[in-house]
Structure 1
Amino acid sequence: MTVEINTSLGRIDVSNDVIATIAGGAAVDCFGLVGMASRKALKDGFTELLGKENLSRGVNVLEQDGQIEIDLFIIVSYGVKISEVAHNVQTKVKYTLNQTLGLDVSGVNVYVQGVRVSEP
């Protein structure tokens, strides 16, 4: 599936994988975020922390009636306010997609899959 952007010079088709990679990269830059989690449901209470090469696997891009909605599955650091981290991720992803691709994202849904306690 692709998102179509029409300009005065022609048409641009952007793959959902590209949108997911940009959104994942923007999310990882936020304070309090340890990384992206797999979109799969929890297996035996463990979530899979994805590396930087797999950022798009923690992002789901939905397109309905010309509206784009992003689902992010994240793991946060212990001791941070989860609601603030989620809000920062929503704001940063929406802003980055607007500035990079000119996309007007209708919603950014954040699903916190886990909390990571760092080693002392």
Structure 2
Amino acid sequence: MKGYMNTQLGEVIIDTDVIAKYAGANAIECFGIVGMAAVNMKDGLVRLLKRESLTHGINVVINENKITLDFHVIVSYGVSISAVADNLISTVKYKVEEFTGLEIEKINIFVEGVRVID
């Protein structure tokens, strides 16, 4: 389902891929996030996604103009996962709500791996 708004000038429709790309770009700039992860269900392998394919690590569901986001992330080694998650939630919630004009109902974060970064 796509997000939509009625304005004085007409209807605005927002595709879920646009929201996923914007949310992913903001998420990887958060402290402690190495990147988005893609999980291969067949053999359970997790791989770090390149910046061009951020949308594969994010699932967007829009229900009655409320957005639910699922992030599959890889975090930096040695950081507090709860602090990283809190930072990610607050940053993405604010920026996506400002960008779309729609309300964020829920943000789920799935930590798929830990990486040591230099």
Report deviation, 1:64.
Answer: 2.5
Which residue does the alignment assign to 1:30?
30
**Structure 1 unmatched ranges of 5 or more:** none
For 1:90, what is the secondary structure of its paired residue? helix
Name whichever structure is richer in strand by fraction.
Answer: 2
- The offset of 1:79, in angstroms, is 0.3
**Aligned counterparts, 1:1-120, within 5 A:** 1-38=1-38, 40-41=40-41, 43-44=43-44, 46-118=45-117
Task: Give, in angstroms, the shift of residue 40 of structure 1.
Answer: 4.3
Equivalenced residue count is 118
Alignment-mate amino acid for residue 4 of structure 2: E
Q: What letter matches 1:34 in structure 2?
A: V
TM-score, with structure 1 as normaliser = 0.90
Q: 1:35-80 CA distances to partner (integer Å, 9 max, x unpaired)? A: 0001544835x31100110111110011234321000110000000
TM-score (norm 2): 0.91
Cα RMSD for the two superposed structures: 1.6
SS of residue matched to 2:46 = coil
**Secondary structure in 2 aligned to 1:80?**
coil
Indicate the percent of aligned positions where both proteins have the same amino acid: 42
Structure 2: where are the runs of 5+ without partners?
none
